[in-house]
Structure 1
């Protein structure tokens, strides 16, 4: 951990940059909602193996006498008002503000993720669309909005991402040599090889060999392009991130493969050509459910007869996808505007109803993503001085820590999964 410990919660919040973190919801409505949220939180806390510590010394939790992750509520009223007003957005903003903290963020979040479907009584879940913020039209991934949505995350700074990604600059789940588990932990030195293993498996699934005409939807920082070109493929990769494109092109040129790879700033809906294979790694999460038919129709349209596609997609339970549809989350507001996770039933339905493609192989990798995220999170925590030197502030540090831990907890709990899918006609 650097000298700028992420657990140091007392930091100045820039109101101009973080207005909703700096401002605690006020007024009678916020007080009423806060009281309701406090009651619901107490109910939830008694159902999870987490030790919730309040400023007056009282404890909440199903196992207050046992060893359990500690969730320390420093400002209960502010915490309750934020959660009552904005749900999970408020929960995340409360962490960013320091209203609550912990010395084991993943340990606290994982039990809640395991019980995500029933923490709130089902009758009250039906009120979700009425009391929680809905998704904003200006964040929907239309042709006009998508590039700005992408830029808000991926164009933050290549240097920021380099503080926690390995030398391959691969920002998606790795595939380790063995399944990670309680007795199998991997080190930072294992990550680059695990990313190559993931990429190679996708290229194999899509049948990419010498002279394959390959379309990649979502360039990232170019590692898949490089691996495919090294096989002798001719690669056309599309992205909407200027920062990623610039670095990817430099890396491709430095490898002497510019003659085999083109990287274009292009929306997937506007791509042309005919390809023997299509690959896309964790890009569909930036599409939005409304546009899934267009995404898969594009793959169907450009894929040559006998061609194959391989995508890597983050999934969630289909019932939770339906229950949360239309709700704006903390991740939408601060991390991925317009984002939407998928579900296997949802993907099977959209390909069946809108394309000639069928999913003929599914390989889940959820435990591998949890391990990937652990390595990223630990690396990020070790380089907070570098992040601050890039111009980001301490509220951003806590936001990014929560994002990485929140994601890791999702995969550790099994609430989230990620899968490599092979599609053919």
Structure 2
């Protein structure tokens, strides 16, 4: 939508636009408003009005204009800023406008769920065909080379162990749980996380004496649970803060003789293993390196070995349309991240390895409930988040991130899968 004129020059928000105070040093692109000309804002407004009129939403602008067929409400406090950001930065601008407090929604998840459900047809086909002209490209600095991956992972996972502990349950598990029924309840979240972990360990047939490679340690719960079964676990992570806490938990559990946690890239893995487990790590690999990732699994598994993966997925055509686009999530939450499709995973396994996709099961609604519990906990503990030094803009960013993710699963735009990959041969 910004192709009608050169790249705009950013300018500081005026007082009337600065609905939330923003630290320009920490959040330069939120604290400044792009200088979008009247034609850019007019085209943006026309495109948005066309889309919003057909959606089950109520979008109320500051001048009293209301669009939509009815449903979850969005209140746009500053129409000029809202249109300027979207007109120059698309969905990145939409997210930055929320971070700046220029729009709000009483039911943020509900509003974002409607938008996610219509993601494929919000922009007219004529503009979709011009996507490469107006969509921002992924920065070269965020490529998931070994050095780039370390930087990308640190950006998110080294924020603060204390921050994550505020909204995760006592298992410190940061991936989809598997519940027995809905609605999910916080008191059952830890058990639901153990249920998810046990399903993966069962898929990989992890038991006494199993040599297990884990790619992506998190804070160590899966390694602890595998070691408690009698497995010998080598776990790899790129997050120094996660490794420190995971090692402490391993020592406290008395399992240091069975668990080794290494600050190492998956491409640096050595040795061979009876089983491999990797939970929601492929989203940080990047399409360029998917073949390398799956070849690593193949090379590290013994004949007859089994790999159990958990992966967030999205529709294949949407993945193809957005795989080179720089997104709000990549800019602020997961730099270098890309969610694959089930088709992309299965084609990569087929074309680049001797592994076979033996089983796959999706459970997206369980992730929506997991995210709801995290989001509610994060909101309830906003004062404690602030006490850790995270400002209001950060808290709005994370509220949007958790709600945006939950909406993806509630709309069906996103799913989460557990895969079993097997390698022919006879296990030892």
Q: State the TM-score, normalizing by the size of structure 1.
A: 0.94
> Structure 2 CA distance, aligned partners of 1:377 and 1:44?
28
> Structure 2 CA distance, aligned partners of 1:47 and 1:250?
54
Determine the structure 2 residue equivalent to 1:38: 45
The offset of 1:205, in angstroms, is: 0.3
1:164–1:380 contact (8 Å) kept in structure 2:
yes
Determine the structure 2 residue equivalent to 1:299: 297
**What is the aligned-residue RMSD (CA, Å)?**
0.9
Alignment pair present for 1:15 and 2:24: yes
1:157–1:243 contact (8 Å) kept in structure 2:
yes
Match of 1:58 among 59, 65, 87: 65
The offset of 1:11, in angstroms, is: 2.6
**2:120 partner SS:** coil
> Structure 2 CA distance, aligned partners of 1:224 and 1:47?
45
Aligned pair in 2 of structure 1 residues 27, 120: CA closer, same or farther (>3 Å)? Answer: closer
Determine the structure 2 residue equivalent to 1:87: 90
Determine the structure 1 residue equivalent to 2:229: 231
Alignment pair present for 1:240 and 2:238: yes
**1:24 partner SS:** strand
Aligned pair in 2 of structure 1 residues 27, 123: CA closer, same or farther (>3 Å)? Answer: closer
**2:119 partner SS:** coil
Determine the structure 2 residue equivalent to 1:4: none
Superposed CA deviations along residues 189-244 of structure 1, whole A, max 9, x for unmatched, are 01000000000000000110100000000000000000000000000000000000
Alignment pair present for 1:111 and 2:150: no
**2:226 partner SS:** helix
The offset of 1:419, in angstroms, is: 0.4
The offset of 1:10, in angstroms, is: 3.5
How many residue pairs align between the two structures? 406
Determine the structure 1 residue equivalent to 2:414: 416
The offset of 1:128, in angstroms, is: 1.2
Determine the structure 2 residue equivalent to 1:257: 255
**1:87 partner SS:** helix
The offset of 1:34, in angstroms, is: 2.3
Determine the structure 2 residue equivalent to 1:142: 145
What are the within-5 Å matches in structure 2 for residues 23-422 of structure 1? 23-28=32-37, 31-63=38-70, 68-178=71-181, 184-422=182-420
Aligned pair in 2 of structure 1 residues 27, 82: CA closer, same or farther (>3 Å)? Answer: closer
**1:163 partner SS:** helix
> Structure 1 CA distance, aligned partners of 2:393 and 2:331?
15
Determine the structure 2 residue equivalent to 1:5: none
> Structure 1 CA distance, aligned partners of 2:197 and 2:335?
26
> Structure 2 CA distance, aligned partners of 1:297 and 1:342?
16
> Structure 1 CA distance, aligned partners of 2:230 and 2:273?
15
> Structure 2 CA distance, aligned partners of 1:258 and 1:72?
53
Structure 2 unaligned blocks of 5 or more = 1-17, 424-428
The offset of 1:27, in angstroms, is: 4.8
Structure 1 unaligned blocks of 5 or more = 1-8, 179-183
1:85–1:132 contact (8 Å) kept in structure 2:
no
1:163–1:379 contact (8 Å) kept in structure 2:
yes
Superposed CA deviations along residues 326-362 of structure 1, whole A, max 9, x for unmatched, are 1000001000000000100001100000000111111
